[in-house]
């Protein structure tokens, strides 16, 4: 298991069992010391159980970002009730470290396997990670991301793309 995934798992387990937010470790890997957006996703029996993240860094390091977003994925994803202690052994974790978003002027520059996207219309924005099961076309990726942002299908949007390093 990658150290970022171990950190996410440890963060959730200690928080759910003891209510304690752990400190991010002094970087054991140089990549944990950098700053980046991070998404932590939890699955249970192959089904999404929580996924929360930041597309731009909000903490001092990837390690700290992972701790905060892991706890949020387990306890604050509005689609799910908070993770309970009895579920901890059944959870599978993934951590995505995002590159900086770059503006896209042509949808031909998108690829749902390689790039995640952010759509923006006024104050509404939605994000979809890359390489998700069942999202095989640019059109489907845009449709889902607009729905997440409460943007109507015909509304114009600014599109940004990003890559991820996915750790499992």
Tokens of 94: 């993934």
- pLDDT values of the chain reduced to their tens digit, one per residue, 168 residues: 999 999 999 999 999 999 999 999 876 788 889 999 999 999 999 999 999 999 999 999 999 999 999 999 999 999 999 999 999 999 999 999 999 999 999 999 999 999 999 999 999 999 999 999 999 999 999 999 999 999 999 999 999 999 999 999
Alpha carbon of 159 to those of 36, 106, 150: distances in Å? 19, 9, 15
Alpha helices by DSSP H, 47-150: 62-75, 138-148
- The Cα–Cα gap between 50 and 39 comes to 10
Q: How many degrees, rounded to 5, is the angle at CA 25 between CA 5 and CA 127? A: 45
CATH homologous superfamily for 102-167?
A: Hypothetical protein ph0010; domain 2 (3.30.1490.150)
Sign for the pseudo-dihedral over CA of 48, 46, 137, 113: positive
Structural tokens at position 141: 């990726």
pTM for this predicted structure:
0.93
Where do the DSSP E strands lie in the chain? 38-44, 47-53, 91-98, 102-104, 116-121, 124-128, 158-162, 164-167
Please state which of the four CATH numbers 3.40.50.1820, 3.20.20.70, 1.10.10.10, 3.30.700.20 is assigned to the domain occupying 3-98: 3.30.700.20
Domain boundaries, the chain: 3-98, 102-167
pLDDT at 8: 98
Rounded to whole angstroms, how far apart are CA atoms 78 and 52?
10
């Amino acid at each position: 298991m990658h150290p970022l995934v171990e950190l996410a798992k440890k963060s959730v387990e200690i928080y759910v069992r003891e209510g304690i937010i752990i400190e991010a470790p002094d970087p054991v890997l140089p990549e944990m010391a950098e700053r980046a957006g991070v998404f932590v996703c939890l699955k249970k029996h192959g089904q999404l159980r929580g996924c929360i993240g930041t597309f731009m860094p909000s903490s001092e390091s990837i390690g700290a970002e992972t701790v905060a977003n892991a706890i949020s994925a387990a306890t604050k994803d509005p689609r799910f009730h908070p993770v309970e202690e009895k579920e901890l052994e059944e959870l599978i974790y993934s951590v995505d470290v995002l590159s900086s978003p770059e503006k896209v002027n042509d949808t031909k520059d998108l690829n749902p396997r390689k790039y995640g996207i952010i759509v923006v219309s006024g104050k509404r924005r939605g994000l979809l990670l890359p390489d998700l099961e069942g999202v095989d076309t640019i059109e489907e990726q845009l449709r889902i991301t607009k729905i997440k942002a409460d943007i109507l299908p015909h509304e114009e949007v600014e599109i940004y793309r990003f890559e991820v390093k996915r750790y499992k």
